[in-house]
Chains A and B, each alone.
Chain A
Amino acid sequence: MTHYIVKRLLLYIPTLLGVLAVVFILTHVVGDPSVLLIQPEASREDLEQMQHILGLDRPIWEQFWVFIRQAVQGDFGRSFWSDETAMSIVLERLPATAELAFCSLLIAVILGIPAAILAALKRNSFLDLGISTLSLFGISMPSFWLGLMMMLVFGVWLRWLPISGRGGLDHLVLPAVTLGVSMMAIVERLLRTDLVDVLSEDYVRTAAAKGLSGRRVVLRHALKNALIPTVTMIGMQLGALLGGAVVTETVFGWPGLGRLVVKSISDRDYPVVHCAVCVLAVVFISINLLVDLLYGVLDPRIRYD
């Protein structure tokens, strides 16, 4: 187990180096921040001076070397626009993003798993059909539309909840539900299918035959085995959510990473883009590792030696 984890951690190094190289090339291909930083009255000499200040007049391989050398020490430089260190800018947004991601995940799991169990147990009933139809809506609705509709109903008409911004729990409800609904629908669809398969397995029949209660058969024997694909999917969704749910963050004015990354890309703020992508890559790889370790908990047949 320890050997496996160390091996996986070592794999972080080539992955991150690859990510750094790709993001460096992409940012330098898409444009030059100096054209945005100069004032309208600027002359051609001013433009060259700005490129010099930002270090963009140096050969590209030299810029890459400096970038990699600093990045491996966790130093991505300062934002071209605010002069703050890129890392502090990115870390400042992480709590808001994590808060939103975990709350929507919670909604998806708390509502999605019981719905899937009910649908699987009452297969082909009206209840199953009803849950499936609702899930279909959940998956099909674009999040910006759902967000705006919920804002209209609960914020503008009923005035129960604040429309935008981050504050108390009340501010979290609309964005978290907006994000949670589609994820909940995916959890329900996936888990229902797997549960239906598992419930027809011999060992489930055996468990029922030896007199275990229905609840125990479903929760202990069937659900545990059916959960593996769902856990994989939740892990990937969580990774994507931690990367920032740009649309939802924009609609609800949520101060998360997604907005930061989009703004930094349009501002060509290289240091912040580099740092954000790198932090997100670490988060994503770590979640993948956790998911892989969780397989072993769910299915003791899986070994890591």
Chain B
Amino acid sequence: MRLRHRAFCALAAISVVSLFGCVSALGAEPGEIIVVQAGFGSHMDPHRGWGDNAHILQSIYDGLTRIDAEGNLHPGLAESWEQVTPETVRFHLRQGVKFHNGDELTADVVKLNVERMSDPNEPRQSYSFKFTGCTVVDKYTIEITESPADPLFINKISYMGIAAAELCGYAKSDQFAKTPIGTGPFKFVEWITDQRVVLAANDDYWRGAPVIRKIIFRSIPELSTRISELVTGGVDIVAGIPSEFVPQVEASGSVRIVPMVSMVNRVILFRCDQPDSPFAKKEVRQAMNYAVNVDLIIETVLGGRAHREAAVVHPTDFGFNPSVKPYPYDPEKAKSLLAAAGYPNGFKVDFDYNPTSATSGPKLNDVVQAIVADLAQVGVEANLIAYDQAAMSSRIYKARNVSPMFDFGWKTWYNDPGDTFYGLFHSESIYAYTTNAEIDSLIIAGRAEMDREKARPIYEKIQELLFDDAPAIFLWYVDDLYAVSNRVNWTPRVDGRIYLYDASFY
């Protein structure tokens, strides 16, 4: 009995010693940066939608072209290119670029990537690229054809990561999660499920070795836990800080808040396609824009961390029309427009929204309630219904049975609003419920125009027409708030990717 008692005491003592003996060091080692995100994506395959692993994939893989932090185009793995025909571009590859496994980058490898990307039997993002041909001209020259011609092809191809030849033989993505091999500034070390992805500096990187020696991406789903880790110095970069947490984060003294405008514009879309719906009438749609006090919502609900938009185009976007100003708040005008349209006492309407989307933005629950309250002031009784991402997507573009008004966020890429116009407002788009033939034809013309300067007046005209036609309540672009450790010198990118090649330490 006594022996057993002693054994128990010894075991307890060992447990206590081992507990405190293995308390892991908090925070990053020298040269190391810890980035926290809510969760990881499911794969490391650069030929599929990048999703939540975008930061990681961009660190491992390079594209033929490169987009910088401000959204400007630069040469990437291709040092130059020329447009052979409107559909075909000839890329001249950089010589001497090595993959992380030591293989050399050649035109043959790029061709394997294009072919894998075009595989119709796998869920690739091939719909972003309609490749119709790929020809190797010589070891370092390749011609890629996309049809129909897309003036933004050169920009878009920057986000097609080029993987090593040995990976392109795998049709499925699972091998990529084990050994992702690219040419990027960081090499893959390990991926511990739901915990961390570790990358190490690629000292042979063709743009020079990065200053950061190691990046640890951690997954912490709970926001307050991320903030706790941040204020105790356990991590260096956290994106998506809600405005109400800013004072708490800044009070820690070791972290600063860096805002960067997100290119996600928030709109409340109307179904203009139902003839018996109030939203079939332009006056009603305009009245809805006059009825919502957008500036007040930005100031109060969003803590001032958002920028108004007039017709979905951000001032830094190509083709921005400064003469189109946002709707002013004018409930009286809204009422008179509603009366003129035959709704002097307003109407009832269902209003779908999705607080779980990657583009939901902060405080969407509060935002939609504020909008509903404003609409009630002019007699419009909106009934809010929340859906999760899959249910909402299914209602919008599969079943096509979404309510007459619904919340939506759309991210504008490459500083060009062409896809945004199309996605939100072209009657053929899977998201849109519009019926304006003039806007339809201008959107098609503007997106297809290979001479971008000729596209500018078309885009400006589209904004005037959208403002007048009001197929949506135009809201804002929010500021993404990043918390960055004071020891790290890094600025966020306009595309929201956390790319640490240019980062350094103070």
- Name the residue of chain A whose CB is nearest to the CB of B411: A40
Asked whether A21 is an interface residue with its Cβ less than 8 Å from the other chain, the reply is no
Contact A253:B222 (CB < 8 A) given known A83-B43, A92-B193? yes
Are A169 and B22 neighbours in the complex by a CB distance under 8 Å?
yes
Report whether A161 and B23 are in contact in the complex, using a CB–CB cutoff of 8 Å: yes
A170, B22: Cβ atoms under 8 Å?
Answer: yes
Which of A42, A80, A164, A173 touches B19 (beta carbons < 8 Å)?
A173
Contact B49 A82 (CB under 8 A): no
Specify which chain B residues have a CB less than 8 angstroms from the CB of A41 in the assembled complex: 127-128, 419, 423
Asked if A47 contacts B397 (CB within 8 A), the reply is: yes
The answer to whether the Cβ of A44 comes within 8 Å of any Cβ in the partner chain is yes
Q: Are A155 and B228 in contact (CB under 8 A)?
A: yes
A263 to B388, CA, bound (A): 12
Alpha-carbon distance between A267 and B174 when the two chains are bound, in angstroms: 17
Chain A positions within 8 Å of B219 at CB level: 253, 255
| Contact call A36/B194, Cβ cutoff below 8 A | no
Q: A151-B225, A253-B225 are in contact. Are A170 and B23 (CB under 8 A)?
A: yes
Q: How far is the CA of A246 from the CA of B242 in the complex (A)?
A: 23
A152-B232 Cα distance, complex, nearest whole Å = 10
Residues of chain B contacted by A162 (CB below 8 angstroms): 23-24, 26, 234
Count residues of A near B (Cβ-Cβ below 8 Å). 62
Asked if A259 is an interface residue, CB under 8 A from chain B, the answer is yes
Q: In the complex the two chains form, is A93's CB within 8 Å of B193's CB?
A: yes
Taken residue by residue from 233 to 261, chain A's Cβ proximity to chain B (1 for < 8 Å, 0 otherwise) reads as: 00000000000000000111101100110
Name the residue of chain B whose CB is nearest to the CB of A51: B398
| Cα A14 to Cα B241 with chains together (Å) | 49
Expressed in whole angstroms, the Cα–Cα distance for A228 and B180 within the complex equals 53
- Does chain A have a CB within 8 A of B173? yes
Assess the B128–A39 pair: CB atoms within 8 A.
Answer: yes
Cβ-neighbour of A32 out of B43, B193, B195, B394 (below 8 A): B394
- Residues from chain A with a CB closer than 8 A to the CB of B192 are 255
Q: CA of A138 to CA of B493 in the docked complex: distance in angstroms?
A: 46
Question: What residues on B are CB-neighbors of A54 within 8 Å?
Answer: 123
Does residue B410 face the partner (Cβ distance < 8 Å to A)?
yes
Q: Which residue of A lies closest to B388 (CB)?
A: A266
Interface check B42, CB cutoff 8 A: yes
Contact check, B410 vs A40: say whether CB atoms are below 8 A apart: yes
CB distance from B152 to the nearest CB of A (A): 11
Checking A39, A151, A152, A161 against B49 with a beta-carbon cut-off of 8 angstroms, the contacting residue is A39
Partner of A169, one of B19, B39, B195, B389: B19
Instruction: Tell yes or no: A134 within 8 A of B by CB.
Output: no
Q: Which residues of A contact B173 (CB under 8 A)?
A: 82-83
- Residues 80-133 (chain A) with a chain B CB within 8 angstroms: 80-84, 92-93
B18 engages A36 (CB within 8 Å): no
Contacts A39-B125, A50-B123, A84-B174; is A168 near B224 (CB within 8 Å)? no
The residue of chain B having its C-beta at the shortest distance from the C-beta of A34 within the complex is B398
Residue of A36, A50, A250 near B222 (CB, 8 A) is: A250
Contact status A84-B222, CB under 8 Å: no
B-chain residues with CB within 8 Å of residue A46 when the two chains form the complex: 127
Q: Which residues of A contact B315 (CB under 8 A)?
A: none
CB of B172 closer than 8 Å to a CB of A? yes
- Which A residues, 19 to 51, have Cβ-Cβ distances below 8 Å to chain B? 30-44, 46-47, 49-50
Q: In chain B, what residue has the closest Cβ to A269?
A: B42
Contact of B24 among A53, A170, A268, A269 (CB under 8 A): A170
Name A30-79 residues within 8 Å CB distance of B.
Answer: 30-44, 46-47, 49-50, 53-54, 78-79
* A80-B391 Cα distance, complex, nearest whole Å: 17
Chain A residues with CB under 8 A of B196: 165
- Residues in A neighbouring B122, C-beta threshold 8 A: 53
A221 contacts chain B at the CB level, 8 A cutoff: no
- Mask, B187-203, CB within 8 Å of A = 1, is 00000111110000000
**Docked CA distance A185–B193 (Å):** 33
In the complex, A159 has a CB within 8 A of chain B: yes
A156 at the B interface (CB under 8 A):
yes
A250 touches B423 (CB 8 A): no
Q: Is the CB of A37 within 8 A of B123?
A: yes
- A148 CB–B CB distance under 8 Å: yes
6 contacts between A and B (CB under 8 A): A34-B398, A39-B127, A40-B411, A160-B23, A252-B222, A252-B225
B475 to chain A, nearest CB (A): 19
B81 to chain A: closest CB distance in Å?
22
Where chain B touches its partner, the secondary structure class is loop
Give chain B interface residues in 219-270, CB to chain A under 8 Å. 219-222, 224-225, 228-229, 231-232, 234
CB within 8 A of A168: which of B22, B229, B234, B356? B22
With the chains together, A44 CA to B49 CA distance in Å? 18
- Complex contacts, B394 vs chain A, CB 8 Å: 31-32, 35
CA–CA, A263 to B40, complex, Å? Answer: 10
A214 within 8 A of B: no
Query: In the complex the two chains form, is A30's CB within 8 Å of B391's CB?
Result: yes
In the complex the two chains form, what is the Cα distance from A173 to B389 in whole Å? 35
Q: In the complex the two chains form, what is the Cα distance from A47 to B397 in whole Å?
A: 9
Contact A171 B234 (CB under 8 A): no
Closest Cβ neighbor of B422 among chain A residues: A41
CA distance A39 to B124 in the complex (A): 9
Instruction: Give every chain B residue within 8 A of A276 (Cβ-Cβ).
Output: none
> Does B20 count as interface, using CB distance less than 8 angstroms?
yes
Shortest CB distance A161–B (Å): 7
Beyond A41-B423, A266-B389, 12 additional pairs, beta carbon < 8 A: A31-B394, A33-B390, A49-B120, A79-B42, A93-B194, A162-B234, A163-B228, A164-B228, A173-B19, A250-B221, A253-B220, A259-B194
The verdict on A167 contacting chain B, using a C-beta distance below 8 Å, is: yes
Which residues on the A side are within 8 Å of B45 (C-beta)?
83
Contact check, A37 vs B49: say whether CB atoms are below 8 A apart.
Answer: yes
Q: Is the CB of B231 within 8 A of A156?
A: yes
Q: How far is the CB of A266 from chain B (nearest CB, A)?
A: 6
**A202, B406: Cα distance in complex, Å:** 71
The yes or no answer to B214 lying at the interface (CB within 8 A) is no
Q: Cβ of B11 < 8 Å from any Cβ of A?
A: no
Bound complex: CA of A258 vs CA of B32, how far in Å? 31
The CA of A80 and the CA of B127, in the complex, are separated in Å by 17
> How far is the CB of A226 from the nearest CB of chain B, in Å?
24
Q: Considering the chains assembled together, what is the distance between the CA atoms of A234 and B342 in angstroms?
A: 65
Known: A155-B232, A266-B389. A170 touches B19 (CB 8 A): yes
Known contacts A163-B225, A250-B222, A255 near B195 by CB under 8 Å: yes
Q: Does B486 contact A (CB under 8 A)?
A: no
Contacts of B218 in A (CB 8 A): 165, 253
List B contacts of A163 (CB < 8 A). Answer: 225, 228-229, 232, 234
Interface centre among A37, A39, A50, A171, by most B CB within 10 Å? A39
A164 B43 Cβ-Cβ under 8 A: no
Of B172, B174, B410, which is in contact with the most chain A CB atoms at under 10 Å from its CB? B174
> What does the 1/0 interface line of B395-431 toward A look like (CB < 8 Å)?
0011000000000001100000001000100001010
Tell whether, in the assembled complex, residue B221 and residue A259 are in contact, meaning their CB atoms are under 8 Å apart. yes
Tell me which residues across on chain B come within 8 A of A169, comparing CB atoms.
15, 18-19, 22
